[in-house]
Each structure stands twice: as structure tokens, then as C-alpha cells.
Structure 1
Amino acid sequence: MSPPSRGLRGNPLMTLLTSALSTGFLLFGYDQGVMSGIILSPSFLQTMGFPSPVVLGTLVSIYTFGAIFGSILSAFTSDKLGRKRTLIFGTVLVFFSGLCMSISRDRIQFGISRTIVGVGIGYITSTTPVYQSEVSRHEQRGWQVCCQLTTMLIGLALAYWVNYGFYFRPGEAQWRVPLALQCVFAGYILVVAPFLPDTPRWLLRRFPDNLERGREVLARLRGKEEEDAEVKLEVEEILKAVDRESKAEGTWGELLKDNNGVKAHKRFYLAVGIQFMQQMTGINIVTYYAPMLYKTGLGMSEEQALLLGGYTQVWYVLASFATWYIIDRVGRRVLFISMALGMSAVLVGEGLATASGTQLGAVMAVVCLFLFEGCFTWGWMACVWIYPPEILPLGVRAKGSALAAAADFIGNWLVVQVTPIGVEKMGWKFYLVWAAFNLVNAIVVWMLYPETGGLMLEAVDHVFADEIDGTIFEHGRLVDKLQWSRVKVAAEAMN
């Protein structure tokens, strides 16, 4: 009997596939946000033996170490087993370890379970952007990855509101139910994913002696027949990319080499850099510590801080829908630069408003946090997660994307560690540090990062390949800042 998805073609198949991949990022968002309320639960603190601030911080941040580890491990399975089976494996880890978290009886069991949840999330977040990028049409790739990031924010907001709802419920249900809820989302992926196809790009590269398999999957995804001219052209371009990289072995070392003229090493540095820079925007100050900022910085009660933290995340979700419209129309590069400058300005305003100590200043500080989240989601949310799969060559895409995701989690951990100390020691001046980082981010993107929006993944090779004009990385440095015009040149090279 054929799996149910074999009857699906075109948009229905893409909808099912995108829903499963987006749920993976919903898990990511939920796990990021759920601990912000859990650590305020008296029942949780009692069960964990009233941990010190250091131990409590470790229980929160140990998840990030697991995610770093999982991101790196995913590269081994993604190339060998495929994107689909790697996603399933990561989700299985989240399902069972999430269940163990919800029934934990001491801090050791909780810490081990949370670490394994992090490993699973590392697998999921490293794999799903690559998976989505490799199955999407080039003109729709941006907004379909945006779906994943919007569901991540829905997961984040859901975590805040679930925490708020169970805050008024006495006993262990106050924290056990919110933790158990993640198993529901993981369960959906485990039900749907086995019936989805793997990516045609992975199939064509992994099984060169069975091209029919990859061609058939691509035709189903596009809703066309295998003999359709569009399908044939896309298969041809994928095979050309595979042929260009045929001398490379797809090993970790290939990430640090030219890789047959497609500049894999330069592209790898850009991929890792953009994901680390995402964390240097300071977004996880708000993600993890919004209630704390409202409580300690603005003098709100615990209940008020939790409530406003929930409203902050609702705005975060609503703002993200605008990115669906603009990401493929405006492009990645303009959004990176303009929104980094916007976040820099808003954080200066946040610091000054907090420093004023007035009621008006408190209101303006809240407004600035809302504007900050808006600028981030419009420019540095989906754009960052889609950029590494877009810019990396096919042969090292999984490995490069995995290390880029690991860089994101490393930056995440750094921000989570320094924020409580920074807020305590520097007060409002701490916001100015992140304003400066955002200014640096804008300059770095302007100087180094090319536009990838609207191009087939194989066309990005032409942005970097020597065959264009041999000057992109002339004398080891970038020339002409990889302007928008180079995208046109690359597109012409595909014809």
C-alpha cells in the first residue's frame, strides 16, 4: 500500500510538508519560552531543591549546550540518512526527553532531560531550513521559511500564555503540564513526517545511479509531470551543481576549501557569521528575560510582568506575518541592513527611557521593546535562518548549516549568561552595548554579504564562481561589496 502522501502533489504536498517543518520550529520557540515562567513556579523550585541562582541558570542554559551538540551531530545524519530521517530522529529525542522533563523528581533528572531536549532541537533547527529550502520553488522559498519562523514565535507566545494560565493553578501542574505540552507538537511531526518525501537535491546527489527517484519527487513537489520542461530544467541545474562539486568529498574539511571554484570556505564563513550576528542583536534579552526586565527594570509586579511578557510575544507573532510579504520582494540584504540600524536606534531609546525613571519613560521603554521585536522579526528572524542553506554549496550544505546553527546557539548561550549580570551591573547602559553590536552588524552585512533572494540554489554558485569575472574574492578580500547587480550577473549565467 502506498503512503498517503504519494497521492498528494503540488501545493497540497508542499502545505503538508511545510506544516510539519514549521511545527519543528514551533517546538524550538516553545522550548525557548517555557522556562521563563517555569523558574518562577514555587512548586518547581521546591521540587528542584530551591536551587541557587547559579544552579537555576545552569538548568535553563544547559539546553543550549545540548542544542549546540545536536546541531553538529545533525550534519552526520543529514548527509547519510537524508533530511527527513534526521528530522524524525531529532523529534523522537524531543518527545521522550520532554516527557521525562515533565515527570522529573529532582534537578539531575530534569537537567539530563533538558539537555537531551536541546540535542533534539539542535537536530530539528539545523535540518528544517535546509529541508524547506531544498524543496521550495526559488520564488517562494523565503516566505515558506517564514512560515517556520512564525510558528516558532507562536510557540514562544504559547509558552508565555500557558505559563501565565498555569501560574494561578496550585501544585505541580503549574509547571509539569506546560513541559508536557511539547510532546503534543512533537507527536504531530512523528505522525506526518514518515509520509513525506526527502528532498530531490539530496536524492539526486546521494543516488546518482537512480536519477528517476529524485526526478519523480521533484515532479510531485512542483505538481507537474516528470517530462515537464520546468522539471527537466531544475533537475539539469541540480545535476550541474553536483557535477561542479564532484571532485569534492563533502567532508568537514571541504568547508575550509575553495571546493572546485565555488568558494565553499568563503560561503561557510558568511553562513556562520550571519547566525552568530543574529544573537548579537540582543534578541534573547527579550525572549528569555522580558518578564524580568519588566519586573526589575520597570518596577512591575510579578503578575503584571508575566502578563506584559505574554503581550510582547503576541506582538512578536503578529509582526512576523509582514515578513512573509516582504522577504521575497525586498530581499535579504536590504532587510538585514535596515532592520539592524532600526534595532540600534530603538535600543538607544530603550536605554534612555529606562534611565529617566519616570512613568512616561517606563511606557516608552515598553514601546521600544515592542519596536525592537518588530525590527528583529522583519529583518533578522527568517532571513538569518534561510541564508545559510541558500548560500552554501549542495555538497556541504548540511554540514555548513549545522555549524551555522551551532554558532547561533553559542551566541544564544553567551547572551543568556551575560544578560542578568549586565542588567545588574550596568543598568540602562547595557542596552547601549547591544545598540553598538547592531550598528556593527549593519556595516558587516553591507560590506560582505551578497543578495540571495529570488535565485535558484544552484544559481548562488555563480555569484561566487570564478567564471563570472574572477574578482569577487580578488587577493583574498571582497571587492565591490557583492552588490545587488551581481545577482543579475548570476541569473544571466544560469541561462
Structure 2
Amino acid sequence: MWTAPLRGKYLVWAITACCCQGFLLLGYDQGVMSGIIGANNQFGKDFGNPDPTTQGTIVAIYDIGCAVGSLMTFFWGESIGRKRMIMAGAVTMLVGTGNGFNSSSIPVYQSETCGGMIRGTLVCLNSTVTIIGLVIAYWLDYGMSYVSGPAQWRLPIGFQAVFALCLFLQVLVLPDSPRWCMAHGRKEEGVRILAQLEDRDSIDDPVVIEKCREIEVSLAQESAGGPFRYRELLQGGPLGNIRRICLCIGINVMQQFTGSNMINYLAPVVYQNTMGLTRNLSLILGGFTSVTYMIASFIPLWTVDRFGRRVLLMTSATGLSVCFIIASILLSVGTKSAAYGATAMVFIFQIFLGIGYLPIPWLYPAEISTTRIRARGSAISSFFNWMCVFAVVEMTPPAIANIGWRVFIIFAIFNALWVPLVYIFFPETKGLELEDVDHIFEMGGITGGVWSSPGGRTVERRRIARDTEDLQENEKGAVEVRIDAAGKGDQ
């Protein structure tokens, strides 16, 4: 298949643009229903004026489709490959909705094609674009709310096809992951892609050879037990697969039980039914809430590779919990001015969400998984993500209808719990190449490497030891060559 003749940073940015397109589509889909349901509009008339429980089901059924796509990627994504799974996801989105293929495959593809020093920034850029998609959806919904007839809801829902077509055309001309190629017997293609990514003229360049050697060593260690078996995902040992899978799932469950999608999917409903605001004002505030979220999503582009994943996650969870606590207190007062204060807390909530629990759950699973289980780890984490989205979005409208603002207290407690969980169990991965992350898990246990390797100190010691060993072997080989040459000279 023909691929674009790009190299170095231009190829990396082309891949990033493609991945961003996929997440733009994801964000648009997450936001498009928020301005359509929950009102006396054309959508309500066409669908029999659904009650709060039915509204939750209408929004949440999309997440079931995404979960099914993630589950399919779990079983077949590794054999099909990153590129072709994204193409399949784009085609699926042209036919209907359900973003599971893309949400499972794009973070893996992005992580496997960029260096450790910029990986966090580039994957976080995907999350930023997700919120741009959300903003587009909110304001398109608001504009179409003044239109009568079925186009009021059909156009916003159908507009996603534009993003899906662009995604398909972009990924069509890009190379596959070099790590995936080398893991599936296509070493020559993988090395050639590595040379393109490193902007080297020859596959024999020392930088390309070193990168290739690191990947091959990692693959050899992972495949020592023969062909992949699903029970490997439950194994401990030096690779720590079960721990990696638990972390992949855990961070995505935590993301959804921050209460993020209570706001992102249902912001106008939340404003209208918990704070007593008018429908029109609720729609406007929902749009500006998403704009605030978008602005905050730019912050990790400068912080995630500087301060690391752990600090941002703990800061984010702390801020989210405090925002919901204050909002609950204000709403308990029951006055209009207190409701406006609670609205301000929702805006601040979006800022804390944007700096941590928005981007990192999409980045972290691909970072901590080995090449052998990376596609499956990302897919199973994506599956749990979408199932948790389904649970939250399904239960939120009836919960708001029954207990009102008290639903905020539930999510405040969850966010408070995430701080110690991150501190105890989640190791830091900033600045590390994917093959170097493995050394964190070699320490074993459920917390090994969490405190001894922030910033990669443990990994650096292992790298120094490895380089010293290589140097000693090279020197030994040189001595043997000189002795052998001397012996031949005596003859």
C-alpha cells in the first residue's frame, strides 16, 4: 500500500493529526446528544417525549456500541494491526456510531510512533482535540435549536460522517506501528518505518539499529513463553501483566467516576434540573462549560511531560472533589445566587478535569503495557471506560430527578478516594521509552517501582547497568580479537 513520503517530525505530526482527527470525532459524539435531549423540542416530539430514565438510555446506548467495539479490538486488534483497526473504526462511524475501535487503537498507535520525551504531550493533544469536538457539538446543537423540523436533530447527529471520512483518508496513507510490524514477522518494514520516524537515510544508521535492538530485546523477553495465550494477562512475575491490566482498567474507571460525563453529556440537564435555570440559559451555559473545558485541556500540553502523570492525577482529583463539595453546599441553600455560585464551581470543575483526568487515562494504558499485550490492554481499558460511561450516563438523569444536587456528593467522595489510590499504586512513566517502562515492573508486587522510580530513576540505573554490561562485552570482544590476531601473527 502506498504511504505518504514523510519523515522525522513531519511524519510524527502527520500521525498526530490523524490521531487527533479520531479524537475530534470521539469528542463530537460525546457532546452531540446533550443539546438534543431533555427539552420540549423536535427530538422529543419525534421520540414520544422520553422520561428521564429513557433519556439516559438514549444517550448511554451509544456507549454500549463503543464498548462492543473495544471488546472486538481486544480479541482481534492485535492480529489486524493498529492502522487497519483505525480504518475499520472510521468506516464504522460512516455507517453508524460506536467509537470503540478508535478509542482502543489510536492511543496505542500514537504511543508506538513517538518518542518518550514528547509522547505525553502528543497524546494529550488528542484529548484537547476531543474537547474541541465537544465544543463544536454543543454550539451546533444550540444553533440548530432555533430550527424547526427533523433537521434540528438529524443534522447534528449526521454531521459526524464528515470527521469519519477525514479520518479514513488520513490513516490510509500513513505507515503502521513499527513495533507491531516487528512483533508480527515484518521486521524489514518495521525497521524502515523506524528510519522514517527517526529521519535517517539508512536502516543501518546507529540510531535505527539501537532502537531496533531495544524493541527486539523487549519482544524476545515477552515472547519467551511461545504464542500468546489469554491467561498471560493474569500472570505476575517480572513482566507483571496482571498488575498492568489492573492499572489500565483502574485509571479508566476512575476517570468516569469523577463525574466528568455527568457534565459533558448532560450539562444542560444538570443546569436546568439541579440549579433551576431556564432551558435556553442552560444550553448557553453548557456551551460555555465546554469552552472552559477546551481551554483547560491545553494545560497538559506543557505540564504532563514536565510534572508527570501522578502529580496531575492527584491534583486533578483533589480539585474535582473540592468543586463538588462546594457546589453541594451552595445548592443546599436553595437560593438563586447560590445556584449561580454552584454553576461557577462546575466551570472550575472543568478546569481541574482538563489538567488530569481528561488526557492521562487515554495515555497511561498504552505506556505501561508491553508490546505483546498493549493492544489488548488498551482495548480492555477502553471497554471498561465505555461501560462506566454507560453506567454514569444511564443513572444520572433519574438520579438528578430523585435526589437533585445530592448526586454531586457521590462524585465528590469518589474523587477524594482517587488521590490515595494514585499515590499508592500508580508508577510514574514520564520521559521513558516504552521498552524502559518494563524495568519499573521488574520490582514485583503491587506497588513495586511506584516510589523508587518517579522520573525514571530506577530505569536509569537499569539502563546504566545495561550500557556498562554492553561496554564490558565489547571490550572483552576487542581483547579476544587482539589476542587472536597476535596468535596468528606469531604463526
TM-score w.r.t. structure 2 length?
0.90
**1:7-156 to 2 correspondence within 5 Å?**
7-39=5-37, 40=39, 42-97=41-96, 117-118=97-98, 121-156=99-134
Q: Which amino acid aligns with 1:437?
A: F
Tell me which of 323, 328, 337 is aligned to 1:360.
Answer: 337
State whether residues 41 and 174 of structure 1, in contact with CA within 8 Å, keep that contact through their aligned partners in structure 2: no
Checking the alignment, whether the CA contact within 8 Å between 1:153 and 1:313 is kept in structure 2 is: yes
Number of the residue aligned with 2:480: none
Matched letter for residue 126 of structure 1: S
**Hey, what does 1:385 align to over in structure 2?**
362
Moved more, 30-39 or 414-423: 414-423
Deviation at 1:428, TM superposition (A): 2.7
Q: Measured at CA, do residues 418 and 54 of structure 1 come closer, stay the same or move farther in structure 2, by a change above 3 Å?
A: closer
The structural deviation recorded for 1:229 is: 2.5
Equivalent pairs, count: 461
Quote the offset at 1:96 in angstroms.
Answer: 1.4
**CA displacement at 1:416 relative to structure 2:** 1.1
Q: State whether structure 2 residue 458 is matched by structure 1 residue 482.
A: no
Give distance in 2, aligned partners of 1:139 and 1:52: 49
In structure 2, the partner of 1:113 is none
1:194 equivalent among 172, 181, 196 = 172
Q: Tell me the amino acid that sits aligned with residue 478 of structure 1.
A: T
The answer (yes or no) to whether the contact 1:21–1:128 under 8 Å persists in 2 is yes
**Aligned match of 2:139:** 161
Q: Is the Cα contact below 8 Å between 2:63 and 2:386 reproduced in 1?
A: yes
Q: What CA deviation, in whole Å up to 9, does each residue of 1:112-158 have, x standing for no partner?
A: xxxxx12xx01100000001000011101001101111111011111
1:305 paired with 2:282, answer yes
Name 1:104's counterpart in structure 2: none
- What CA distance in whole angstroms lies between the structure 2 residues aligned with 1:228 and 1:60? 52
Tell me which of 279, 294, 305 is aligned to 1:328.
305
Compared CA separation, residues 281 and 262, structure 1 to 2 (3 A): same
Give the whole-Å Cα distance in 1 for the aligned partners of 2:396 and 2:291. Answer: 23
How far the C-alpha of 1:404 sits from its partner, in A, is 0.6
User: How far apart are 1:54 and its partner, in Å?
Assistant: 3.6
Q: Is this contact kept in 2: 1:41–1:167, CA < 8 A?
A: no
Q: Which runs of 5 or more structure 1 residues have no equivalent in the other structure?
A: 98-116
Q: Deviations for 1:427-461, whole angstroms, at most 9, x for unmatched residues?
A: 33321211111111111111111001110011111
CA contact (8 A) 2:56 2:397 kept: no
Q: CA deviation at 1:487?
A: 2.4
**1:219 corresponds to 2:195:** yes
Is there any run of 5+ residues in structure 2 with no aligned partner, and where? 465-491
CA spacing shift, 1:480–1:133, aligned 2, 3 Å: closer
- C-alpha displacement at 1:299, in angstroms? 1.9
SS of the aligned residue for 2:357 comes to helix
Q: Which amino acid aligns with 2:359?
A: A
CA distance, structure 2, for counterparts of residue 251 and residue 130 of structure 1: 20
* Letter matched to residue 12 of structure 1: Y
Shift of 1:213: 1.2
> 1:80 deviation in Å?
0.8
Task: State whether residues 70 and 379 of structure 2, in contact with CA within 8 Å, keep that contact through their aligned partners in structure 1.
Answer: yes
2: CA distance, partners of 1:48 / 1:285: 22
Question: Identity percentage over the alignment?
Answer: 36
Name the amino acid aligned to 2:188.
E
Q: Distance in 1 between matches of 2:407 and 2:358?
A: 22
Match runs of 1:72-471 below 5 Å: 72-97=71-96, 117-118=97-98, 121-207=99-185, 210-225=186-201, 226-248=203-225, 249-258=227-236, 261-465=238-442, 470=443
Matches of 1:484 and 1:341 in 2, distance apart? 23
Runs of 4 or more, structure 1, over 6 Å off, are none
**Paired residues of 1:352 and 1:428 also in contact (CA < 8 A):** no
- Letter aligned with residue 229 of structure 2: T
For residues 483 and 354 of structure 1, what CA distance do their matches in structure 2 show?
Answer: 44
Report the Cα offset of residue 479 of structure 1: 5.3
Which residue number corresponds to residue 461 of structure 2? 492
Residue of structure 2 equivalent to 1:109? none
- 1:484–1:345 Cα change, 3 Å: farther
TM-score by length of 1: 0.90
**1: CA distance between counterparts of 2:240 and 2:449?**
17
Return closer, same or farther for 1:49/1:399 CA change in 2, 3 Å cut-off.
Answer: same
* C-alpha separation in 2, matches of 1:224 and 1:353: 60
Distance 1:19 1:11 in 2: 12
Which deviates more from structure 2 when the two are superposed, residues 421-430 or residues 477-486? 477-486
CA gap of 1:54–1:347, structure 2 versus 1, over 3 A, is closer
- The separation in 1 between residues aligned to 2:142 and 2:22, in whole angstroms, is 23
Structure 1 residues 11 and 448, CA gap change in structure 2 (3 angstroms): same
Determine the C-alpha separation between the residues in 2 that align with 1:28 and 1:453: 25
Contact 2:128 2:297 in 1 (8 A): yes
Q: CA deviation at 1:480?
A: 7.3
Per the alignment, do residues 54 and 359 of structure 1 end up closer, same or farther by CA in structure 2, a change over 3 Å counting? closer
Contact 1:143–1:324 (CA under 8 A) maintained in structure 2: yes
- CA–CA separation in structure 1 for the residues paired with 2:398 and 2:154: 29
1:336 offset after TM fit, Å?
0.9
**Offset of residue 421 of structure 1:** 2.8
Pick closer, same or farther for the CA change 1:33–1:344 going to 2, 3 Å.
Answer: same
- Partners in 1 of 2:224 and 2:168 — Cα distance? 37
